[in-house]
Structure 1
C-alpha cells in the first residue's frame, strides 16, 4: 500500500501498488547511537527590543511562531517549539549615535555610575518572558561587547581590531556584570543556563556597523577564569560557553589568525596553557558559527568532518554546538541579499542543518536573527521597521527549521540511518536523519528532498518495531507549513515530493 504525500492532499492508493524496485528503504539503526541533542534555538538580536513593545496581537503571534508547541484543531503546529532562547545582554550602544542603524544598537543594564537599570531592554525581556511562558526552559545570555562603561574607547566596537576592547584591569568588573545579570534573572524566575561572553572573536569589529570586539585566546582564557571564579563563589546555576567562533575553520586551524584560532585544542587539550576543561563553571562544549562554510558543498562537508575529528582528538569529552547562522553574503549558493520567504532558502538552510547534525555531530543548532526588518535572508520572521506597530510575516524557512526544532526534543539521541539503494546524505538529493525521543518512546525522522524528483520511501527498523507514523510536510505550496498528514503504519510506503521536507514521528512498539 502506498501513501502519497502530495502538494494539497494525502490519500491511500490501493489500486496501484508500487513495486518494490521503485521504493527506497530507509534503515534506522536504533542500536547505533550518536550524539545527544540538547536544543534548537535562536536569538533576540536585534529587532525584538522594538517588536517586544508592539501591541499584543503582533508580538504574541511572533512568540507563538517561535516558541509554541501547541497545535490547532486540525493538529497543525502553531509554532516551531524552540527549546532554547538566546538573550542578547546589551552593551549600551543605544545611548550613543556611533552605530548608524539604531536597530542594530542595544540598550544596556549598566549605568554610568555602575549601578543597574533593570527596566532597559524591555522588548527583549518581554520575549524572554514569552519564551518561558510557552515552555522554553533553556536560555543563553550572550554579549557582543562588554558594556560601554567598561570598554577602552567607551564604545561598543573596537578601535584597533587587534585586541579586546577592554583593559585587563576591567576584566573583574566585566565578570561581575555578567554574573549580576544572571543572578537578577534567576531571582525573576528565569535561569540563564549559559553565559556566552565572546562573539566571533576572530573579526576586527572596527567598522561600527554593530556591537563587537575581537579577543585573543589568551584574553578569552583570562576573562573566563575571572567569571568562573565568581560563578563558583556565588553558586550560580550557570555555565560558561566558548568560543562562538566566527567560522568553524577557527576551531581546528589557524587560518591566518594564530592568536584567535585552533580553539578546540587551545581550550580543551590538557597540555595547553589555556586549558579551560578544569574550570567547574565551563561547559564541556565548544561553539562555532556556520558562516562562510556552507558552500560549496565539498567544503561544507570537509569542514564539518575536520571539526568532528578535532573534537575527538582532545582529552576532554566535548560537544559541538552550532550557535549562530543566517544566510550571509554573496559567497553562498543562495545569496544573502534580498528577502525571500519561500522554499529556496528554506531548503538551503535545512541542508546545512542536516550536515551540521550528521557530519559535525552538533548537539545544538541555533539561528541568528529570529526577527528581521531588512531586505535580507536573515529572518525566521519578518516585521515592518517601525518602533510602535506594524505587520509580521512568517517564512518557509521558519517552518523548515521547525521540522527539526518542533519534533526533536532536548535529550533525543541521533541514531544511524542508511540505505542500500541510494546515498541518503546527498546534498542535492535525499537527506535523512533519525532521532530517538526516549521520553515519548518515538523516533523522529526528518527527510529532505532537495531534488526535482518525487521519491517513494519506506522505513525499516531491524532492531525495533515501528508503530504508527504521523507525517508532516513543509513545501513551497500555500498552507504546507508543518502540515499534518494522515497516519501510516510502520511498514507502509510514502512519498516525499520534490523540493520538500517530510518529518515522520513514529511510535515504537
Structure 2
C-alpha cells in the first residue's frame, strides 16, 4: 500500500505553480481574518472505537503489528497524523461479548437497587482500554466515556436493547424500584476502574440518541428525565472524589438535542448547571445553528452510514461520504453552530462502508479523504484554540480561522466551486515577513505541505486555490 504522509513531497512540483504569491487579478477573492474578535474555545476533534471496533485496530481481523502502529499514529500523533485529542468510549451494558456487544462491568443483576453490586474489570473493555492507553501516549487529552444504555435490569423494558427507560425517572416507575442511584454508581465505577488502572476518564455520558428505540443498546429519555438523572450523577461524582465532567445527551440530531434543553434548564436547581458540554449528533438534523445554552456544545457522532467505502474521493458530486462534504460539515459546525468539538462515528475499522475515517480491509491501512479533511482541522487547531472572525467575499470560497494558545493562526479555506480562484488574505495584526505554511487536500493530494508564503505589510498575502480543494494556511 502506498500512503501519502504529511511531509511527503510527492508530486509537489506540479502543484507549486497553482498555489503561489501571484499578483492579484480583478476577480480575486478577498479574505479577512480578525484575531481580536474571538468566539468559542476548541476542545478538540476525534472519533469512537466503540462496539469492539478498537479490536479491529489491535488485529481482530489480522492487521499486522506494523500497521497497528501506523493507524494509531495516524489517528493520535500530532506530528505524523491527525493528532486527534478526543476518544469517545462506549460504556457497555451487555453480559456477553458476542457479535459486537460491549461487556458490562456489572453483568449480574443484584436483584434490587440497594443490593451490593458485583462489579468486574478485565483491563480490556472490548479493546477500548488498551486503545486509550496508546492514544494517551500519543497526545490524547479527553476521554469521553458514554453509555448507550443502562444494564437491562435497570430499565423499564428489562432489556439493554429496544429502547426502554431508566427505572425511576419521571413517569417511569418499575416494580423492582428506582435504579437511578445504582446507575450513577455504575458509571462512576467504570471511571474508577480506568483511573485505578492508570487511564483517566475526563467526561461521563449516560445516554446515546435517547429519541431512538434501537434494536441494539439504547435508552429513551426526554429532557426532564435526563435532568432527573443528572442531579443524581452530579452528587455521586462529587462524593466519589473523581475529577469527572458530565456530558448530555447525545441527541440523534441537533434539533433533537435542542428539544431536550428546556427540561435540562427547568426548575430552581437546573440540571444544566451540572453539565460541562451539551452533546448532539448530526444524523436527523445537522449542527448549523447554536444550541440554546451558554454551555459548550460538542458534535459527538456523525457519519455516512449508507455508502460503500470511498477512500479516494475528496469531491465528485457532493456525496455524503466525500472529503469536501465533511470538511464543510466541520467548518459549518464550528463556525455557524459554535461547537467546541467534532467527532466522527468510527476512527478505523474493518468495513466496506463509509462508517469509518480509516479502513482496515485486507490487513492494510487505507485513510479516506474524510480523514484528511478532519486532519486539516485537528492537526492545526489544537485544544485551547479560539475561533476568530473570518470573512470571504465569495460564497463558493468558505473560510474559518482559529488562534491557538501559542499564537499560531490556522485558517481553512474551502473552494467549493469548479474553477481555480485567486485569493487575497489579510490576517489582522500579523507582521510583515511571517511565514505562512499552506497544506492542501483534494482528489490528488492528502494534506500536502506546499511552498511557504511570506506575509507582506499588514498581514497580507496572496495565493491560488484549485477547484474543489481545501487549503489550510498556518501562520507559523
Conserved 8 A contact 2:52-2:102: no
Which of 270, 288, 293 aligns to 2:285? It is 293
3-state SS of the aligned residue for 2:248?
Answer: coil
Q: In the alignment, does 2:180 pair up with 1:171?
A: yes
| TM superposition shift of 1:499 | 1.3
Q: Deviations 1:210-250 (Å, cap 9, x if unpaired)?
A: 22121232332222222111110112110111111111112
1:53 to 1:107, Cα distance in 2 relative to 1, 3 A: farther
In 1: Cα distance, 2:94 partner to 2:30 partner: 55
Q: Residue 357 of structure 1 aligns with which residue?
A: 334
| TM superposition shift of 1:401 | 0.6
1:422 to 1:490, Cα distance in 2 relative to 1, 3 A: same
Conserved 8 A contact 1:48-1:127: no
In 2: Cα distance, 1:17 partner to 1:234 partner: 61
- Give the TM-score taking structure 2 as reference length: 0.85
Q: Deviations 1:132-163 (Å, cap 9, x if unpaired)?
A: 110112110011111345445553213xx463
Q: Residue 24 of structure 2 aligns with which residue?
A: 19
| TM superposition shift of 1:475 | 1.2
Conserved 8 A contact 1:153-1:165: no
Q: Deviations 1:275-327 (Å, cap 9, x if unpaired)?
A: 21343xx31x3111111334xxxxxxxx723x44x33xxxxx32221111112
Q: Residue 343 of structure 1 aligns with which residue?
A: 314
Q: Residue 113 of structure 2 aligns with which residue?
A: none
| TM superposition shift of 1:47 | 4.3
1:165 to 1:62, Cα distance in 2 relative to 1, 3 A: farther
Q: Residue 196 of structure 1 aligns with which residue?
A: 205
In 1: Cα distance, 2:21 partner to 2:360 partner: 47
In 2: Cα distance, 1:110 partner to 1:457 partner: 58
Conserved 8 A contact 2:155-2:164: no
Conserved 8 A contact 1:45-1:370: no
1:272 to 1:16, Cα distance in 2 relative to 1, 3 A: closer
User: Mind listing any 5+ residue stretches in structure 2 that lack a counterpart?
Assistant: 1-10, 111-117, 169-173, 316-321
Q: Residue 225 of structure 1 aligns with which residue?
A: 231
Q: In the alignment, does 2:72 pair up with 1:63?
A: yes
Spell out the pairing of 1:454-469 with structure 2 (5 A cutoff). 454-465=420-431, 467-469=434-436
In 2: Cα distance, 1:15 partner to 1:204 partner: 53
| TM superposition shift of 1:8 | 5.7
| TM superposition shift of 1:251 | 3.0
In 1: Cα distance, 2:124 partner to 2:17 partner: 56
Q: Deviations 1:80-109 (Å, cap 9, x if unpaired)?
A: 00011111111125446xxxxx13x22233
Conserved 8 A contact 1:33-1:414: yes
Q: Residue 304 of structure 1 aligns with which residue?
A: 288
Q: In the alignment, does 2:364 pair up with 1:391?
A: yes
Which of 392, 416, 423 aligns to 1:450? It is 416
Which of 125, 144, 151 aligns to 1:147? It is 151
Q: Residue 407 of structure 1 aligns with which residue?
A: 380
In 2: Cα distance, 1:64 partner to 1:162 partner: 39
- Give the TM-score taking structure 1 as reference length: 0.79
In 2: Cα distance, 1:337 partner to 1:172 partner: 41
Q: Deviations 1:146-205 (Å, cap 9, x if unpaired)?
A: 1345445553213xx463478552221111111011112122232211001111111122
Q: In the alignment, does 2:474 pair up with 1:505?
A: yes
Q: Residue 422 of structure 1 aligns with which residue?
A: 394
3-state SS of the aligned residue for 2:453?
Answer: coil
Conserved 8 A contact 2:18-2:465: no
Q: Residue 276 of structure 1 aligns with which residue?
A: 271
Q: Residue 8 of structure 2 aligns with which residue?
A: none
Which of 165, 175, 186 aligns to 2:195? It is 186
Spell out the pairing of 1:20-59 with structure 2 (5 A cutoff). 20-54=25-59, 55-59=64-68
Count of aligned positions: 436
In 1: Cα distance, 2:251 partner to 2:19 partner: 53
Q: Residue 139 of structure 2 aligns with which residue?
A: 135
User: Mind listing any 5+ residue stretches in structure 1 that lack a counterpart?
Assistant: 1-5, 71-77, 97-101, 253-261, 295-302, 312-316, 329-335, 424-428
Which of 236, 241, 244 aligns to 2:247? It is 241
Q: Deviations 1:49-75 (Å, cap 9, x if unpaired)?
A: 4224314223222111110112xxxxx
Which of 454, 458, 464 aligns to 1:489? It is 454
RMSD across aligned positions (CA): 2.6
1:165 to 1:378, Cα distance in 2 relative to 1, 3 A: farther
| TM superposition shift of 1:462 | 3.4
| TM superposition shift of 1:25 | 2.2
3-state SS of the aligned residue for 1:377?
Answer: coil
Conserved 8 A contact 2:222-2:260: no
3-state SS of the aligned residue for 1:9?
Answer: helix
1:13 to 1:107, Cα distance in 2 relative to 1, 3 A: closer
| TM superposition shift of 1:120 | 4.2
In 2: Cα distance, 1:474 partner to 1:81 partner: 17
Q: Residue 89 of structure 1 aligns with which residue?
A: 91
In 1: Cα distance, 2:135 partner to 2:250 partner: 23
